[in-house]
Structure formats: C-alpha cells, structure tokens
Amino acid sequence: MKVNVQTPHFVADQKLINYLQKKMNKLDQFHDQIIYADIFLKIQNTSSRNNKIVEILLSIPGNELIVKKQAKSFEAGAYSCASSLERLLIKQKEKNRAIA
C-alpha cells in the first residue's frame, strides 16, 4: 500500500512518518485490496492542548474511507484513526460478503 503523508506548515519527523507507515501496514490484515492512504497532519492554532489533527483518506476498490481525529499528539490521533479504520474496513468487508 502506498502511504502519502502531507504536513502543511511544518516538517514531520522521520520517526513519526515511520510510525504512520507501520499503522497503515497493519490495516492490510483487515482488507487486502487497499490502494493507498493519504494522511494529513495539521496543527490547529488554539490554546487547547488537543490541537493536533490527523485526517486519513483510505482508498479501497469502489469506495473511499475518511477518518478525522483531534488529539494531544499525532501518535495518539493516528492510533485512534487506525482503530476507526479497522472497524470501517471490517464493516465494508461484511457488506461485500452479504452482497456476494
């Protein structure tokens, strides 16, 4: 699976990019036909500590799944996005089995 990480207005650390790649590779066990993942990392200008936004667009044949989470760190946001995507991929796979 191809993973594109986009970070407007800042440069992401290589450790963070490797962490995101590892999380996305784990999604292959839930759906074997994932085409690509676009990850957008944004920092919101607020006084709140939960100012990191992680948005993931996952492309599978016939559909695109989008998840957006706000957290204290990018790692925590990526973890909760990956968990949500796991549930969505399982639902999508069950739906495809019901149709077939």
Structurally, the chain folds into a number of domains equal to 1
Does position 37 have pLDDT exceeding 90, yes or no?
A: yes
Burial bucket for residue 5 (CB in 10 Å: 0-12, 13-18, 19+): middle
DSSP 3-state of 62: coil
Nearest to 92 by CA among 63, 66, 69, 67: 63
* pLDDT tens by residue, 46-71: 888 889 999 999 999 888 999 999 99
| Percent of the chain residues topping a pLDDT of 70 | 99
* pLDDT computed for residue 100 by the predictor: 65
* pLDDT tens by residue, 7-30: 988 888 999 999 999 999 999 998
* Domain containing residue 25: CATH number: 3.30.160.100
pTM for the model: 0.90
Containing structural domain, residue 83 = 2-99
